[in-house]
Amino acid sequence: MITELVTCGALFAPGQDLYYSLRWREGILRLVNWDPHSSHSDPVHAAHCTSSRKRLLLLLACVVRECGGTWGITDPTPTTEGTKVWADLPETGAKTYGKRHC
């Protein structure tokens, strides 16, 4: 999942810095990837970018769903720069998933 997030960010912002974070809090692992891919003034183009990201992150979406977690894409806005993709994996769901697929 980590490589999927980083690869997606690198595809949308080639040659630019990416920010990646892992955080463990209260039984939930949060993965965050931020890339500097900026917002688009054309809503159709912005929707296309979001749709493309979701297709690239299909495996992540499936694993997160199997673990009972959540994930999302925070698109750039006029007041923010870049795009953040995040996933929350609860400990119990991740352990169950690991036992079934290892």
How do the pLDDT tens digits run along the chain, 102 residues long? 788 999 999 999 999 999 999 999 999 999 999 998 877 778 888 888 888 989 999 999 999 999 999 999 886 666 667 889 999 999 988 888 777 776
Number of domains in the chain: 1
Q: Where are the alpha helices (DSSP H) in the chain?
A: 2-12, 43-56, 58-66, 91-101
Task: For the chain, give percent helix, strand, coil, nearest 5.
Answer: 45, 25, 30
CATH classification at residue 77: 3.30.565.10
CA angle 67, 1, 91 (to 5 degrees): 35
Give the predicted TM-score (pTM) of the model.
0.84
In angstroms, the first-to-last Cα distance of the chain is: 15
Q: Domain of 91?
A: 1-101
Taking the C-alpha atoms of residue 88 and residue 26, their distance in angstroms, rounded to an integer, is: 11
